Amino acid sequence: MHILIIGGGAAGMSAASKARRNDKNAEITVVESGNFVSYAQCGIPYYLSGKVSDPMNLIHYPVEEFRVKRNINVKTETYVKSVDTTEHTVTLHDNTAIHYDRLIIATGTRAKRLDFSIPDRVHSVRTLDEAIQIKRDLSGHQMGILGDGVLGLELASEFAEKDWEVTLFSKHERILPRVDPAVIIHMSKDLSKKIRIIHFNSINFKRGDSDKPTIVADRDEYCMDQLMVAIGTLPNTEFLKNSKIDMDAEGRIIVNERMETSVENVYAAGDCAISINRIDGQLQWNPLAQVANKMGRVAGSNASGKRMDFKGSVGTTLVKILDYEVGYCGFSEIEAKKRGFDPESKTVSGWSRAKYYSGGSEIIVKIVYDKTTLRLLGGEICSKDNGAWRLNALETAVYSGMTTEELFYNDLGYTPPFGPVWDPIIICASLSLRD
């Protein structure tokens, strides 16, 4: 049996490795358009800022690990032109065809780009190859960031800490709009002291002096040495446009819990695929590394004959902005209402450690739950200390379908260096029981 995997990122290599563990005799081939496989895409902002000096440190496993030790045929710098699911063939960029018995599509996403371009000065990044080239091009001291989501804020924070003069351009009334402004109020204030934040209604771009990118936000002009564009991603599925594989309106491949597509013996996993939300079982796109790895493992196992079911995800997201740990999971109140719930929320400001123990920080916790059932639907966290583990604790509660009462009685560990005896999470849950 020949298992062919398109894409050597998190989902693709996870699928290949699981398939090999299940079937020692199968022929397994991975085709990857870039020069690298199995690397830490989420580490790219830290490489660009200089916090990570060597891009090779972002590679989890070198290609030879897969080729030699795992007997997986990895073809880098290999592009797929089309897929013929009737003939079970994939056509490559050089017009050669590869036959498959099982196909796994794990092509991920690409960064959205502007129509405006200045070589060496206007950048969009998604892959390690792109990051290495951008790093070579970086010069000057004025950095513009277009986009106020997770990647945009990561880049802004990292470059500001490396003494760049950073200007962040946001089309929203406030940054990181997915998170309640009350949760990130202190982070937002501190960030505005470190970087210039420009909120705009309309934006245009032009070449300025010395070919520098100039951003025209409403009527004001801002000349930058460099411009990083972080305005979202698009699925790498354009090569499937003439296939029989079902996709949504955005071009994301629709899969079931086994990562099966609408075509027999064809699977999809990772950021190019849309799967189910754990809370309500409806389709939801969660382009996140931890989700891609699990989807890949499920796809690889099913393609190699051993059933696994993906249980869904809740979109858990963590980001470091300056010294703050910011995170969210599940549904916001707006999302919950759209999906048919009757949401309520509670927000608590507490302390990350026992107040008498040094090193603590204020922590803001928010939970979203259904009024009728008290089932937890989502959570948000922001703190300079011990915020990340609390977000993961909330995620486990949301993922498990806990009610706020069950969360209140949850036996969180206590010791002064890690939290107060009445943890902010527990206090937040208790408030929901007073209604």
* Residue 115: exposure state from Cβ atoms within 10 A (0-12, 13-18, ≥19): exposed
Q: Give the homologous superfamily in CATH for domain 324-430.
A: FAD/NAD-linked reductase, C-terminal dimerisation domain (3.30.390.30)
- Same fold? 2-33+77-109+235-303, 113-229: yes
d(CA 272, CA 237): 7
Task: Name the band, by pLDDT with cuts 50, 70 and 90, for residue 117.
Answer: confident
d(CA 345, CA 365): 10
According to DSSP, the β-strands at 102-105 and 2-6 are parallel
Look at residue 208 in the predicted model and tell me its pLDDT.
85
Q: Is the pLDDT of residue 37 over 80?
A: yes
State the pTM of this model.
Answer: 0.95
d(CA 73, CA 4): 10
* Residue 145: exposure state from Cβ atoms within 10 A (0-12, 13-18, ≥19): buried
Which residue do the tokens 């073809």 mark? 75
Q: Is the pLDDT of residue 282 over 80?
A: yes
CB-CB contact of 109 with 191 (8 Å): no
In this prediction, residues 148-169 reach a mean pLDDT of 97
Q: Is the pLDDT of residue 54 over 90?
A: yes
In this prediction, residues 338-345 reach a mean pLDDT of 97
Q: How far, in whole angstroms, is CA 376 from its chain's centroid?
A: 22
Radius of gyration of the chain (CA): 23
> How far, CA to CA in Å, does 208 sit from each of 32, 114, 374?
37, 17, 56
pLDDT digits (tens, 9 = 90+) for 198-244: 999 999 999 988 889 999 999 999 999 999 999 999 999 999 988 99
Q: Report the alpha-carbon angle 75-79-84, nearest 5.
A: 105
Catalytic residue chosen out of the listed positions 42, 223, 329, 382: 42
CB-CB contact of 299 with 104 (8 Å): yes
Q: Is the pLDDT of residue 291 over 80?
A: yes
Task: Name the band, by pLDDT with cuts 50, 70 and 90, for residue 119.
Answer: confident
Active site residue 329: no
**Domain limits of the chain?**
2-33+77-109+235-303, 113-229, 324-430
Q: Report the alpha-carbon angle 160-166-168, nearest 5.
A: 120
Question: What fold is seen in the domain 113-229?
Answer: FAD/NAD(P)-binding domain (3.50.50)
* Residue 434: exposure state from Cβ atoms within 10 A (0-12, 13-18, ≥19): exposed
Q: How does DSSP classify residue 280?
A: T
d(CA 296, CA 302): 10
Q: Report the CATH number of the 2-33+77-109+235-303 domain.
A: 3.50.50.60
